[in-house]
Amino acid sequence: MEAAEAVETIQREMTSFARRARASAGRLHPELSLVSYTLLGHLEESGGCRATDLAAHYALDKSTVSRQVGALEHADLIERRQDPRDHRVQVLHLTDAGRRILAQVTESRRTAFRERLARWPEEDLERFAEYLVRYNAWRAPAAPSDLPPEPSP
């Protein structure tokens, strides 16, 4: 397989993977979209953060995050707390219910992955994990408008 063909196959398979992930998220918990699940996971890992931090981290539009945050608040899965260092800032945190739902969905997802990968050799699993980490670690080069101005001579 040539490099161009391999890239096309990767793009097609990653798209299929994303579609399956979105569909399975709804089956695992009907009220918890893949985006909501991802945001809850980030809040748990980070110990809480601002909505603008979520938008920046996931390269999502602020209005998308705002809608998701509103739905998660309405479902009592997250709450806003005042930042003790800056009282003007609201920090999002998981509620106890949010932690329980996240744990349930995480365990269901883990079980689904284990079943799907059960017959893979350990070497293939390790290589696949390494490739995914490397793929997801890539960052786009800064656009010229994002770079600081060069000093004048």
* Residue-wise pLDDT tens digits, 96-151: 999 999 998 888 888 988 999 999 999 999 999 999 999 888 877 766 655 556 55
Q: Do the beta carbons of residue 72 and residue 40 sit within 8 Å?
A: yes
Q: In angstroms, rounded to a whole number, what is the distance separating the alpha carbons of residues 96 and 106? A: 15
Q: What is the DSSP string of 24-84?
A: HHHHH-TT--HHHHHHHHHHHHHT-B-HHHHHHHHT--HHHHHHHHHHHHHTTSEEEEE-S
Tell me which of 45-49, 75-79, 101-105, 119-123 is least confident. 101-105
- Residues whose CB is less than 8 angstroms from the CB of residue 48 and which lie 6 or more positions away in sequence, other chains included: 81, 91, 92, 93, 94
Q: What is the mean pLDDT of the chain?
A: 86
Predicted TM-score (pTM) of this structure:
0.73
Q: What is the pLDDT of residue 47?
A: 93
